[in-house]
Chain A
Amino acid sequence: MGLATNAVHVVEANAIGYRRTWRGRVISTFVNPVLFLAGLGVALGSMVDAGSGQTSLPIPYITFAATGLLAATAMQTGYGEGAWPIMAGIKWRKSFDAVLATPVSVGDLVSGYLCWGAIHLAFTLGVYAAIAVLFGAMEAVPALVALVPAVLCGVAFQAASVAFTARLEDETGLTNMMRFGIMPMFLFSGTFFPVSQLPDWMERIAALTPLFHGVELARKLALPGSEPPVVSTIPLWVHAAYLIVMTGVAWLLAIRWLSTRLKS
Chain B
Amino acid sequence: MSNESLVRARGLTKRFGDFVAVDGIDFEIRRGEAFGFLGPNGAGKTSTMKMITTVSPITDGEMTVFGLEPAGDGPSIRSRLGVVPQENNLDEELTVAENLYVYGRYHDIPKPTIRQRIDDLLNFAQLEEKRDSTVESLSGGMKRRLIIARALINEPDLVILDEPTTGLDPQARHVLWDRLYRLKQQGATLIITTHYMDEAEQLCDRLVVMDKGVIADEGSPAELIERHSTRDVVELRFASGTDEAGLDRLDGAVERMEPLADRVLLYTNDANALVDIIHEREIEHVQRLTRRSSLEDVFLHLTGRRLVD
A residues apposed to B, CB below 8 Å:
2, 5-6, 9-10, 12-13, 16-17, 20-21, 93-95, 97-105, 262-264
Q: Within 8 Å CB of B255, what residues of A?
A: none
CB distance from A9 to the nearest CB of B (A): 4
**What separation, in Å, do the CA atoms of A262 and B89 have in the docked complex?**
14
In the complex, the chain A residue whose C-beta lies closest to that of B105 is: A9
Known A16-B102, A94-B87, A97-B89; contact A102-B79, beta-carbon cutoff 8 A? yes
Contact B105 A263 (CB under 8 A): no
Q: Within 8 Å CB of B55, what residues of A?
A: 97, 100-101, 262-263
Contact B56 A16 (CB under 8 A): no
Known A97-B55, A98-B85; contact A2-B106, beta-carbon cutoff 8 A? no
Instruction: Tell me which residues from 75 to 102 in chain B have a Cβ below 8 Å from any Cβ of chain A.
Output: 75-76, 78-79, 81, 83, 85, 87, 89-95, 98, 101-102
Contact A9 B85 (CB under 8 A): no
Interface residue B140 (Cβ < 8 Å from any Cβ of A): no
Interface residues of A: mostly helix, strand, loop or mixed?
helix
Q: Within 8 Å CB of B81, what residues of A?
A: 101
Contact B57 A20 (CB under 8 A): no
Most buried by A among B53, B57, B102, B107: B102
B residues apposed to A, CB below 8 Å:
16, 53, 55-57, 74-76, 78-79, 81, 83, 85, 87, 89-95, 98, 101-103, 105-108, 134, 150, 154
Q: Which 6 A-B pairs have the closest CB atoms?
A: A102-B106, A101-B83, A103-B75, A94-B89, A98-B89, A9-B105
In-complex Cβ contact of B91 among A95, A97, A264 (8 A) = A95
In the complex, the chain A residue whose C-beta lies closest to that of B107 is: A102
**What separation, in Å, do the CA atoms of A13 and B90 have in the docked complex?**
13
Sampled A-B contacts (26; CB under 8 Å): A5-B108, A9-B108, A13-B106, A16-B94, A16-B101, A17-B93, A17-B94, A20-B94, A20-B98, A93-B89, A93-B91, A94-B87, A98-B89, A98-B103, A99-B106, A101-B53, A101-B81, A102-B103, A102-B106, A103-B75, A103-B78, A103-B107, A105-B74, A105-B75, A263-B56, A264-B16
CB distance from A170 to the nearest CB of B (A): 17
Q: Within 8 Å CB of A97, what residues of B?
A: 55, 85, 89
Known A6-B106, A9-B108; contact A103-B79, beta-carbon cutoff 8 A? yes
In the complex, the chain A residue whose C-beta lies closest to that of B53 is: A101
Q: Within 8 Å CB of B75, what residues of A?
A: 2, 103, 105
In the complex, the chain B residue whose C-beta lies closest to that of A2 is: B75
Most buried by B among A97, A98, A99, A262: A98
Contact B93 A12 (CB under 8 A): no
Q: Within 8 Å CB of A102, what residues of B?
A: 78-79, 103, 106-107, 154
Contact B78 A20 (CB under 8 A): no
CB distance from A21 to the nearest CB of B (A): 6
CB distance from B256 to the nearest CB of A (A): 42
Known A6-B108, A102-B103, A103-B107; contact A17-B91, beta-carbon cutoff 8 A? yes
Contact A263 B57 (CB under 8 A): yes
Contact B57 A104 (CB under 8 A): no
In-complex Cβ contact of A13 among B83, B105, B150 (8 A) = B105
In the complex, the chain A residue whose C-beta lies closest to that of B103 is: A102
Contact B106 A103 (CB under 8 A): yes
Known A2-B75, A103-B78, A105-B75; contact A13-B102, beta-carbon cutoff 8 A? yes
In the complex, the chain A residue whose C-beta lies closest to that of B82 is: A101
